[in-house]
C-alpha cells in the first residue's frame, strides 16, 4: 500500500436507551444497538473515508481490505494534507457516581414520569419528558501503532411544558445531561420550573426590537460564547477561509479582561478522554485579556494554520472526525450580579437559550432567549418573550462592559457538518452595550 | 444472511412472543466528495445497514433497532422488553396487504454511486463558481442509493429503491458569503454548474451592502428563506400528534380560514421527489393529502399509533430514517397557489436565507431571525445589496395575508415552495 501515508480506524459500538413520556403516557421506553466504524486513509494528497456498520477491528484482513478501499477514494482527492505531530495519551474517564446500567428501565421510567408530572401545574396544557442514555465503547488504532479504548456513559433528560390560554401558547423547557453517572434522581424541581416559566410567559410582553443594553444570564452567555467565538475559532473554518477570525491572532477582538477557553479535560458534558484521532486533550485559551491567542485544531488544521494545539477532533458515531468545541466558556470576571444590574440601568435581561446559529464567514450570529425581563432604573420589571439577539463577531466582544463572577456550565448538543456531538458551554453574567435585540413589538 | 431471509426469521420468531411484529429494514450506500479551499478535499464512501423491530402485545408497543445483523435476537428481546413498559393503547393492527394506489417516483435507474461521477459534479460546481470573483470555501457532491423494506406479521411486505443526488457550494468574498444547494432523486435534474454560479453570485453581489433603518417594509422571502421559517412552525402544527397533545395552535381550526385564501398546502407522495413513495414507513398505502385548501384548514397528518389512540385513521404519513421509530411526517410537501402578482415587481426587501430559523417559537409562531443576502428588489431585479438586519414576525399572522407568489417554486428538502411577498413586515436595522 505505497499510496497510504497514514490510516486510522475508529469503532464505536454501543447502546442508546430512550424513554419518552408525553402527557403522562409512556410513548416508548427501550434500548437500541449500534456498531459503527470509520476508516480514514491519507493518500498521496488528501483523505479517503469509509464508514461501515459492524467492522471487526481485530481482523487484520478486514482492516487491510477497508484501508485499501479507502486508499482508492483518497486517490481522487487534490487537497494536499499534512498532519502535525501531537502528544498521545488517554485521560481516565470520570468514575460513575451511579452506573445507569445498574438501574432497570422501569425505575428510569418512573423517575422520568415524576419530573414530567412536576411540570403539569395549573395552566399547563401539555407536558413531555425524554430520557436519553448513551453507552459508547470506543476503540481506535492507527498506522503509527497507537491504540486505545475507552467507554463513555452519558445520561440526561429534557422536559417541556406548554401553557395555553385563549389561543395563546407558550413553552418552558429544562434539560440536564452529565457524563458522570445516572441523572434522573431529585430532578423534579426542573420539571416544575419548566411549567412555571410556560405559565408566566402567557402574560409576558413582546419586546421592541433595536439596539440597547443587555444582560445575558450564564446559560445564554454560554451560547453566545459558543456561537460568537467558538465556531469562528475552529481551525478547519480558518483554513478554508470561512472564518472572520482568520489572520487575527494577536489582535484585540474583545474587551480587556475577557478570557475564552475550550477545555475538553473538564468533566462536563463535552468531556473526552482523548480526541477522535488519538491525540491527548488539553485546554486551549482562545482569547486571553481580549486578545485572540489560539484557534482550536486537529492535526491537519494545526499543520496548515498553526497557532494552537491539536486534540479538538471529534466525531459522531460513524462519521469522520472534524474540529469541534468541547466545554467552551468565558472565565469569571469580578463584577457581582447587583453591580451588573445597576450599571445596566435601562435595558433587557435575557435568560436561557432556545438555540443559536452563526455564519462564521460573514461574522454574523443570532440566538434566542427563552425569556427575559425589561430592566428599568437598575431593576427588573416586566417579563418578555420571543426575544433574540444578533451581532457581529468582530465588534460584539468589544461591547462587553462587565463580566460577572458567577460562571455556570450548561450541557447541550452542537451540530456541524451534519454531525451532532455533546458539548457544554457557559459564562458568568455579562453586560453588553449596544446589543441588537430582535423582537416584533413596536 | 440477506435482508429478506432475516426479516422472515425475525417475523417468525417474534410472532411466537407477541401478537404482532413489524420489521423495517434499510440498507444504503453513498459517495460524498467534499470541497476544501476550492479543490476536491475528501472522498467518503458509506455503507449503512439497519433493522428496526416493533412488537405489539395487548396494545403495548415495543421498539428496538440494531446495526448488527448478528444481534437480531438481542434486538427482538429489547423490543419485547420495551413493550412491557409502554402504556397500553387502542390498537387495530398493522396494515394488511393492500393494492397500492399510486407509483413512487424516487429512484433513478441511471444513478451510479461512483466517486468519479461525484468528482465530476464537483468540477461543474467549481466551473460555475468561477464566473464570479469569489473564493470557494466548501461544498461538495453526493450520490446515494438505498433499499428499504417494511414487513409485518399480517403478511404485508413492500420494498422500494431510493436514490439521491445532491450538491452544495459555499463561497466568500471579503466578509460576504454565499450558499446554494440542490438535491433530487434524479441525477439529470441537478445542474451543479448553475448551483455553483448562484452561490458565487450571492457572495459577489452582496458585497458593500448599505445599512437599513429599523421599520416596516414590504419583503420577498426566497423559497429557501420561506421554507426555513415555515418548516419550523407551520409543518409541526399539521402533525396529528401535536394536534391531539395540545401542541398545535391549529388544533381546533379545521374548516376555518387559517392562511391567505390563495395558499394551499398538500402532500403528494406520488409526485417525483426525495420522499416519493406508494406506502408509508408502517406499510400503510399513501394518498394525496390536502392539509390547507385555499387557506382553509382541512385535515391533519396521522400515523397508526396516534390514529388508533384518538380514533382517527392513519393518513399514510409515517416516515422514519434508518434505525429510528416511525413518526408523523410528510413525503413531498407543496405550498402552492395561483400566481397573480410577481412578488419582486414592486420595490421590496428580498431575503435569500435566514440565520437561526430553528429558534422560532413553534407553538406561538413568533420568530426573530438574522437575514442573509438581503437585497432591494424592483422590477424583478436585485438592484442593491443590504448590509445586515433582523426580521421579526409571526408565521401565522404573516401568512394570513400575502402579497403574491413567485413562479420560481423549488424543492427545499421535502418542501416545494415559491418565493412569497409579504407586505408591511418588521425589519430591525443595526
Boundaries of every domain in chain A: 6-201, 208-440
Interchain proximity A366–B370, CB inside 8 Å: yes
Residues of A in contact with B428 (CB under 8 A): 209-210, 436-438
Cell of B302: 396521522
The answer to whether A264 touches A312, Cβ cutoff 8 Å, is: yes
Which one of B247, B351, B397, B400 makes the best mutation probe of the A interface by having the most chain A beta carbons within 10 Å? Answer: B247
Interchain proximity B45–A387, CB inside 8 Å: no
Interchain proximity B115–A54, CB inside 8 Å: no
Which one of B368, B385, B393, B398 makes the best mutation probe of the A interface by having the most chain A beta carbons within 10 Å? Answer: B368
Interchain proximity A31–B78, CB inside 8 Å: yes
d(CA B324, nearest CA chain A) in Å: 9
d(CA A251, nearest CA chain B) in Å: 18
Q: What is the pLDDT of residues A202-215, one digit of tens each?
A: 999 999 889 999 99
The answer to whether B368 touches A368, Cβ cutoff 8 Å, is: yes
Interchain proximity B37–A27, CB inside 8 Å: no
Residues in Cβ contact with A151 at an 8 Å cutoff, skipping those fewer than 6 apart: A93, A135, A136, A137, A138
- Which chain A residue has its CA at the smallest distance from B353's CA? A359
Interchain proximity A239–B36, CB inside 8 Å: yes
Cα B44 to Cα A318: distance, rounded to the nearest angstrom = 12
Residues of B in contact with A25 (CB under 8 A): 87, 89
* Sign of the alpha-carbon torsion through A143, A146, A150, A152: negative
d(CA A403, nearest CA chain B) in Å: 24
**Residue A39 neighbours by CB distance under 10 Å:** 28
Query: Which CATH number is correct for B3-202, 1.10.3720.10, 3.30.1050.10, 3.60.10.10, 3.30.2290.10?
Result: 3.30.2290.10
Which one of A19, A29, A360 makes the best mutation probe of the B interface by having the most chain B beta carbons within 10 Å? Answer: A29
* Burial class, A384, CB count within 10 angstroms (exposed 0-12 / middle 13-18 / buried 19+): buried
Residues of A in contact with B37 (CB under 8 A): 79, 239-241
Residues of A in contact with B44 (CB under 8 A): 48-51, 73, 320
- What is chain A's alpha carbon radius of gyration, rounded to the nearest angstrom? 23
Boundaries of every domain in chain B: 3-202, 209-430
Interchain proximity B82–A361, CB inside 8 Å: no
Residue B139, Ramachandran bin (φ over 0: left; ψ between -120 and 50: alpha; else beta): left
d(CA B418, nearest CA chain A) in Å: 25
pLDDT of residue A144: 95
* Range A9-36 average pLDDT: 95
Cα A89 to Cα A280: distance, rounded to the nearest angstrom = 5
Check whether A2 has a pLDDT greater than 60.
no
Helix axes B72-85, A105-118, angle to 10 degrees: 40
CATH fold group of domain A6-201: PmbA/TldD fold (3.30.2290)
d(CA A266, nearest CA chain B) in Å: 28
Q: What is the pLDDT along chain B (430 residues), one digit of tens a residue?
A: 567 889 999 999 999 999 999 999 999 999 999 999 899 999 999 999 999 999 999 999 999 999 988 899 999 999 999 999 999 999 999 999 999 988 889 999 999 999 999 999 999 999 999 999 999 999 999 999 999 999 999 999 999 999 999 999 999 999 899 999 999 999 999 999 999 999 999 999 999 999 999 999 999 999 999 999 999 999 999 999 999 998 999 999 999 999 999 999 999 999 999 999 999 999 999 999 999 999 999 999 999 999 999 999 999 999 998 788 999 999 999 999 999 889 999 999 999 999 989 889 998 899 999 999 999 999 999 999 999 899 999 999 999 999 999 999 999 988 999 999 999 999 998 7
Q: What is the pLDDT of residues A257-282, one digit of tens each?
A: 999 999 999 999 999 999 999 999 99
Amino acid at each position: 500500500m505505497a499510496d497510504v501515508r497514514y490510516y486510522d480506524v475508529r469503532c464505536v459500538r454501543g447502546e442508546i436507551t430512550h424513554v419518552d413520556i408525553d402527557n403522562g403516557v409512556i410513548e416508548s421506553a427501550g434500548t437500541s444497538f449500534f456498531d459503527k466504524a470509520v476508516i480514514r486513509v491519507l493518500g498521496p494528497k488528501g483523505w479517503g473515508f469509509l464508514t461501515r456498520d459492524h467492522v471487526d477491528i481485530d481482523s487484520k484482513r478486514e482492516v487491510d481490505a477497508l484501508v485499501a478501499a479507502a486508499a482508492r477514494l483518497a486517490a481522487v482527492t487534490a487537497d494536499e494534507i499534512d498532519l502535525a505531530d501531537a502528544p498521545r495519551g488517554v485521560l481516565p474517564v470520570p468514575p460513575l457516581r451511579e452506573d445507569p446500567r445498574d438501574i432497570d428501565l422501569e425505575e428510569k421510567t418512573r423517575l422520568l414520569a415524576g419530573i414530567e408530572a412536576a411540570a403539569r401545574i395549573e395552566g399547563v396544557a401539555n407536558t413531555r419528558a425524554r430520557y436519553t442514555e448513551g453507552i459508547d465503547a470506543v476503540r481506535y488504532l492507527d498506522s503509527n501503532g497507537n491504540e486505545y479504548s475507552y467507554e463513555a456513559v452519558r445520561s440526561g433528560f429534557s422536559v417541556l411544558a406548554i401553557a395555553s390560554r385563549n389561543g395563546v401558547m407558550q413553552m418552558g423547557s429544562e434539560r440536564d445531561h452529565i457524563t458522570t453517572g445516572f441523572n434522573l434522581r431529585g430532578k423534579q424541581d426542573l420539571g416544575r420550573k419548566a411549567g412555571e416559566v410556560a405559565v408566566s410567559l402567557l402574560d409576558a410582553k413582546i419586546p421592541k426590537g433595536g439596539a440597547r443594553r443587555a444582560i445575558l444570564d450564564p446559560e445564554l452567555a454560554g451560547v453566545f460564547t459558543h456561537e460568537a467565538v467558538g465556531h469562528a475559532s475552529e481551525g478547519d473554518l480558518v483554513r478554508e477561509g470561512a472564518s472572520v477570525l482568520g489572520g487575527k491572532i494577536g489582535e484585540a477582538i474583545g474587551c480587556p479582561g475577557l478570557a475564552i477557553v475550550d477545555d475538553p479535560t473538564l468533566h462536563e458534558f463535552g468531556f473526552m478522554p482523548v480526541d477522535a484521532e488519538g491525540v491527548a486533550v488539553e485546554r486551549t485559551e482562545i482569547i486571553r485579556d481580549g486578545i485572540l491567542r489560539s484557534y482550536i485544531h486537529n492535526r491537519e488544521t494545526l499543520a496548515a494554520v498553526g497557532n494552537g494545539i491539536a486534540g479538538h477532533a471529534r466525531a459522531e458515531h460513524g462519521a469522520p472526525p472534524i474540529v469541534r468545541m468541547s466545554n467552551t466558556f468565558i472565565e469569571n470576571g469580578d463584577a457581582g450580579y447587583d453591580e451588573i444590574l445597576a450599571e445596566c440601568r435601562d435595558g433587557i435581561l435575557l435568560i436561557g437559550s432556545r438555540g443559536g446559529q452563526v455564519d462564521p464567514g460573514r461574522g454574523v450570529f443570532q440566538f434566542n432567549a427563552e425569556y427575559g425581563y425589561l430592566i428599568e432604573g437598575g431593576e427588573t420589571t416586566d417579563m418578555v418573550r420571543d426575544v433574540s439577539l444578533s451581532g457581529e463577531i468582530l465588534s460584539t466582544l468589544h461591547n462587553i462592559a462587565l463580566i460577572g463572577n458567577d460562571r455556570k456550565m450548561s450541557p447541550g448538543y452542537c451540530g456541524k457538518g451534519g454531525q451532532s456531538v455533546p458539548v457544554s458551554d457557559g459564562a458568568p453574567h455579562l453586560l453588553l452595550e449596544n446589543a441588537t435585540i430582535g423582537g416584533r413589538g413596536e | 444472511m440477506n435482508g429478506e431471509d432475516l426479516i422472515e426469521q425475525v417475523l417468525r420468531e417474534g410472532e411466537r412472543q407477541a401478537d404482532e411484529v413489524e420489521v423495517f429494514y434499510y440498507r444504503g450506500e453513498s459517495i460524498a466528495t467534499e470541497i476544501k479551499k476550492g479543490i476536491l478535499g475528501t472522498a467518503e464512501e458509506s455503507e449503512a445497514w439497519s433493522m428496526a423491530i416493533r412488537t405489539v402485545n395487548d396494545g403495548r408497543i415495543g421498539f428496538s433497532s440494531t446495526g448488527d445483523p448478528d444481534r437480531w435476537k438481542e434486538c427482538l428481546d429489547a423490543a419485547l422488553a420495551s413493550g412491557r413498559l409502554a402504556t397500553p393503547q387502542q390498537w387495530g393492527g398493522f396494515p394488511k396487504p393492500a393494492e397500492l394506489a399510486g407509483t413512487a417516483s424516487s429512484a433513478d435507474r441511471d444513478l451510479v454511486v461512483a466517486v468519479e461521477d461525484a468528482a465530476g459534479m464537483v468540477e461543474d460546481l467549481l466551473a460555475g463558481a468561477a464566473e464570479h470573483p469569489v473564493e470557494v470555501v466548501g461544498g461538495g457532491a453526493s450520490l446515494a442509493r438505498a433499499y428499504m423494506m417494511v414487513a409485518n406479521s399480517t403478511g404485508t411486505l413492500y420494498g422500494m429503491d431510493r436514490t439521491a443526488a445532491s450538491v452544495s457550494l459555499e463561497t466568500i468574498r471579503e466578509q460576504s458569503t454565499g450558499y446554494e444547494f440542490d438535491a433530487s432523486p434524479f441525477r439529470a435534474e441537478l445542474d451543479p454548474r448553475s448551483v455553483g454560479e448562484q452561490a458565487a453570485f450571492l457572495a459577489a453581489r452582496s458585497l458593500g451592502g448599505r445599512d437599513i433603518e429599523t421599520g416596516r417594509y414590504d419583503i420577498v422571502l426566497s423559497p429557501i428563506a420561506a421554507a426555513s421559517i415555515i418548516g419550523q412552525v407551520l409543518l409541526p402544527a399539521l402533525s396529528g400528534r401535536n394536534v391531539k397533545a395540545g401542541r398545535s395552535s391549529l388544533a381546533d381550526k379545521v374548516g376555518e380560514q387559517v392562511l391567505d385564501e390563495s395558499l394551499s398546502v398538500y402532500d403528494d407522495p406520488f409526485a417525483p421527489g426525495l420522499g416519493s413513495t406508494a406506502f408509508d414507513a408502517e406499510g400503510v398505502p399513501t394518498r394525496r393529502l390536502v392539509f390547507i385548501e385555499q387557506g382553509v384548514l382541512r385535515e391533519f397528518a396521522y400515523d397508526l399509533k396516534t390514529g388508533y389512540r384518538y380514533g382517527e385513521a392513519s393518513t399514510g404519513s409515517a416516515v422514519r430514517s434508518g434505525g429510528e421509530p416511525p413518526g408523523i411526517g410528510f413525503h413531498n410537501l407543496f405550498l402552492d397557489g395561483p400566481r397573480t402578482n410577481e412578488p419582486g415587481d414592486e420595490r421590496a426587501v428580498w431575503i435569500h436565507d435566514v440565520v437561526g430559523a430553528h429558534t422560532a417559537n413553534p407553538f406561538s409562531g413568533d420568530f426573530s431571525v438574522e437575514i442573509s443576502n438581503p437585497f432591494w428588489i424592483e422590477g424583478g431585479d436585485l438592484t442593491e445589496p443590504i448590509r445586515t438586519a433582523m426580521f421579526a414576525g409571526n408565521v401565522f399572522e404573516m401568512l394570513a395575508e400575502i402579497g403574491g407568489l413567485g413562479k420560481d417554486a423549488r424543492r427545499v428538502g421535502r418542501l416545494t415552495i415559491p418565493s412569497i411577498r409579504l407586505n408591511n413586515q418588521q425589519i430591525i436595522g443595526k
